[in-house]
Amino acid sequence: MSFIIGKKCEGVCDTACVDVCPVDCINGPISVTGRGEEVENMTEEEKKGLQLYIDPTECINCGACLYECPVDAIYDDEEIAIAEGELDAVKKNYKFYGQEFKDIS
């Protein structure tokens, strides 16, 4: 199980979480090696629908990112995210990194 970024990040892409992650596993919104810099010069309109992602296989569940997010978009567990109606967001995090999400619940 991994930390996951939910849909509240869409259109926000704040990089406070990226800056504190000790293993650099928060990326996007466009490149899997990006660190949010792609949105720096975008308008609010251009940012619509864009979000950051956590690589589920790299996240070490340290929790450093959780309280940095200004819009509370980060879940500390996939199961909790799914229970909160964020199954699509969980799948998006996996898909962004070319991984398949296997729902074992």
Distance, in Å, from the CA atom of 49 to the CA atom of 64, rounded to the nearest integer, reads 25
List 3, 75, 94, 96, residue binding ligand SF4 (CB under 6 A): 3
Q: How far is CA 49 from each of CA 7, 8, 78, 105, rounded to the nearest angstrom?
A: 9, 10, 21, 28
13 interacts with ligand SF4 by CB under 6 A: no
**Please, which residue, 44 or 59, has the CB nearer to ligand SF4?**
59
- In the complex, least distance from residue 21 CB atom to ligand SF4, rounded to whole angstroms: 3
Instruction: Check: CB of residue 34 under 8 Å from CB of residue 28.
Output: yes
Residues lying near ligand SF4 in the complex (CB under 6 A) are found at 3, 20-21, 23, 25-26, 54, 59-65
